[in-house]
């Protein structure tokens, strides 16, 4: 994978060529229809909380697509694309004929060498066609084209961010559900230990204190179990806010993310839409500089008009066809100031490109380190699970033979729970790190099979 060499140069044709804007209007409409709306009420819109649906199951892909339809940042980014396309049309309109109507009421007195003309009103039409302006209009069109591409890339980047947030919330629910199940299994194992202690106490092989001690440990385990249940409900609430759906069953896990190619030696900056958006803004800043410099040159256009002047006794026509040349002579230093301002914009845009690359590097590096550590912790936790499980089985047999005390059984049950918690936490930490890495390099949606662009950048994800 090669680094993008044109990020700090002037080779922007690839970005401009790849900046075809999507048909965002269709997608946004579908997204808004997919999002559950609140029935009309007498209260103000800002007082109405978004409604939520209740469903039995929610897959990862469905959760992300629902979050797309619910997240206002996506709607905002899509609206910005509409603004960019409108500004592009405004810039292109300068090449088309400009037709205007004019009229007035009131006394008008004209005097020349042949006499005077008076009128009380006038009405007419003027047609003006731009011929050449030394790159002013062309630069304005290119600037708006680059800005439109930047807005499209920003929308894609927002989709990636929302998908990452949703998937992390999804994994958080799965994490606490798995921890809750581990605590429940440990609670059931402790209850079996208590039953064995009760049988031994009833048979006179041990005292009732063993039963009380086991029940005390069960009470503590119940508290841990309820804590995980509360954390599960909290995580489910966070996911429901993002997706608008409350679901008890989350069937999927992004196992493919753990198999992605993870490296820090050659990060694909050129594929990151946040970097591409910043690069497109830099190209737009370059065009603003050229526009500002072109303001020093004249503008040539053809102007034609026909006006009817009316008075009490007679009326007459005034026809004109002219080649109009307009050029600035002195504007108090405004032209130089505009060039300086445009150059400042370019420096700021260059800094934004480097800042976005640095952000990618930092997030990817952190996720890479966290993933490696989590995988090592997971291996250690799984080895501890095997050892603790074997020890528990042996201790229970020896307890029945009166070769182990109840404290030994309770201690190994605690070891089993600790091993389960360590392995589960490490496993979900690894998934979270993999999600953050894929989000940093802007590859998350591609790995999940959610396409932001279809048919040559013509569509966005359909719900």
Enumerate helices (H) and strands (E) in the chain, giving the number of each: 10, 6
Query: Are 367 and 432 within 8 A, CB to CB?
Result: no
Pairing of strands 245-249, 53-57: parallel
Query: From CA 243, how far away is CA 55, in angstroms rounded?
Result: 12
- % residues pLDDT > 90 (the chain): 41
CA dist 129 → 301, 303, 323 (Å): 5, 6, 10
pLDDT tens readout for residues 337-366: 988 998 998 999 999 999 999 999 999 999
Q: Higher confidence at residue 150 or residue 110?
A: 150
Buried b (16+ CB within 10 A) or exposed e, 180-195: bebbeebbebbeebbe
* Phi, psi angle pair for 35, to nearest 5°: -70, 135
pLDDT tens readout for residues 399-409: 888 888 888 88
Pairing of strands 299-310, 245-249: unpaired
Q: What is the pLDDT of residue 10?
A: 37
Half-sphere exposure of residue 127, counting CA atoms within 13 Å on the CB side?
8
Handedness of CA 416, 417, 422, 426 (dihedral sign): positive
Query: Are 122 and 93 within 8 A, CB to CB?
Result: no
Rounded mean pLDDT of 423-449?
Answer: 91
pLDDT tens readout for residues 192-251: 988 888 888 887 777 788 889 889 999 999 999 999 999 999 999 999 999 988 887 888
DSSP reduced 3-state for 278: helix
Q: What is the pLDDT of residue 42?
A: 44
CA dist 287 → 15, 132, 191, 342 (Å): 14, 17, 74, 9
pTM value is 0.78
Q: Using the predicted structure, report yes or no on whether residue 322 has a pLDDT greater than 60.
A: yes
Rounded mean pLDDT of 152-178?
Answer: 94
Tell me the residue ranges of DSSP E strands in 113-226: 115-132
Model confidence at 49, pLDDT cuts 50, 70, 90, reads: very low
Instruction: Name the β-bridge partners of 245.
Output: 53
- Domains of the chain (ranges; CATH) run 60-93+134-295+355-448 (1.20.1600.10)
Query: Are 354 and 274 within 8 A, CB to CB?
Result: no
- % residues pLDDT > 70 (the chain): 85
Q: What is the pLDDT of residue 114?
A: 65
DSSP reduced 3-state for 325: strand
Taking CA 432 as the corner, what is the angle to CA 151 and CA 168, rounded to the nearest 5 degrees? 55
Query: Residue 106 is encoded by which pair of tokens?
Result: 């009131």
Query: Are 34 and 463 within 8 A, CB to CB?
Result: yes
pLDDT tens readout for residues 269-279: 888 899 999 99
Q: Using the predicted structure, report yes or no on whether residue 105 has a pLDDT greater than 70.
A: yes
Model confidence at 52, pLDDT cuts 50, 70, 90, reads: low
Q: Higher confidence at residue 461 or residue 320?
A: 320
Q: What is the pLDDT of residue 115?
A: 65
Q: Higher confidence at residue 29 or residue 142?
A: 142
């Amino acid at each position: 994978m090669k680094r993008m060499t044109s990020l700090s140069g002037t080779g922007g044709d690839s970005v401009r060529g790849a900046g075809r804007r999507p048909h965002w209007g269709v997608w946004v409409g579908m997204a808004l229809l997919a999002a559950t709306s609140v029935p009309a009420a007498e209260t103000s819109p800002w007082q109405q909380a978004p409604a939520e649906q209740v469903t039995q199951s929610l897959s990862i892909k469905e959760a992300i697509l629902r979050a797309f339809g619910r997240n206002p940042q996506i709607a905002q980014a899509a609206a910005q694309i509409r603004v960019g396309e409108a500004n592009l049309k405004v810039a292109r309109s300068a090449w088309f004929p400009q037709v205007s109507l004019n009229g007035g009421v009131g006394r008008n007195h004209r005097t020349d060498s042949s006499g005077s003309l008076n009128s009380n009103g006038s009405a007419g039409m003027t047609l003006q066609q731009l011929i050449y302006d030394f790159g002013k209009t062309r630069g304005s069109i290119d600037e708006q084209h680059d800005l439109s591409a930047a807005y499209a890339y920003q929308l894609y980047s927002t989709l990636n961010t929302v998908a990452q947030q949703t998937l992390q919330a999804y994994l958080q629910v799965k994490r606490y559900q798995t921890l809750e199940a581990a605590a429940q299994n440990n609670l059931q194992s402790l209850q079996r230990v208590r039953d064995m202690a009760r049988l031994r106490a009833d048979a006179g092989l041990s005292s009732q204190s063993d039963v009380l001690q086991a029940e005390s440990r069960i009470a503590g385990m119940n508290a841990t179990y309820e804590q995980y249940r509360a954390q599960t409900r909290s995580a489910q609430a966070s996911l429901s806010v993002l997706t608008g759906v409350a679901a008890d069953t989350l069937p999927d896990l992004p196992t493919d993310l753990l198999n992605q190619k993870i490296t820090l030696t050659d990060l694909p900056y050129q594929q990151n839409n946040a970097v591409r958006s910043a690069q497109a803004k830099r190209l737009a800043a370059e065009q603003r500089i050229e526009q500002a410099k072109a303001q020093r040159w004249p503008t040539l256009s053809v102007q034609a008009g026909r006006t009817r002047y009316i008075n009490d006794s007679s009326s007459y026509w005034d026809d004109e066809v002219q080649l109009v040349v307009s050029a600035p002579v002195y504007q108090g230093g405004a032209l130089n100031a505009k060039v300086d301002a445009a150059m400042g914009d370019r420096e700021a845009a260059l800094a934004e490109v480097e800042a976005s690359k640095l952000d990618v590097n930092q997030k990817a590096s952190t996720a890479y380190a966290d993933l490696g550590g989590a995988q090592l912790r997971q291996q250690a936790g799984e080895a501890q699970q095997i050892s603790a499980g074997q020890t528990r089985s042996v201790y229970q047999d020896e307890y029945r033979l009166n070769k182990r005390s109840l404290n030994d059984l309770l201690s190994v049950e605690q070891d089993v729970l600790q091993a389960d918690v360590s392995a589960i936490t490490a496993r979900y930490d690894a998934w979270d790190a993999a999600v953050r890495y894929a989000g940093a390099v802007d590859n998350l949606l591609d790995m999940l099979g959610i396409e932001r662009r279809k048919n040559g950048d013509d569509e966005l994800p359909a719900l």
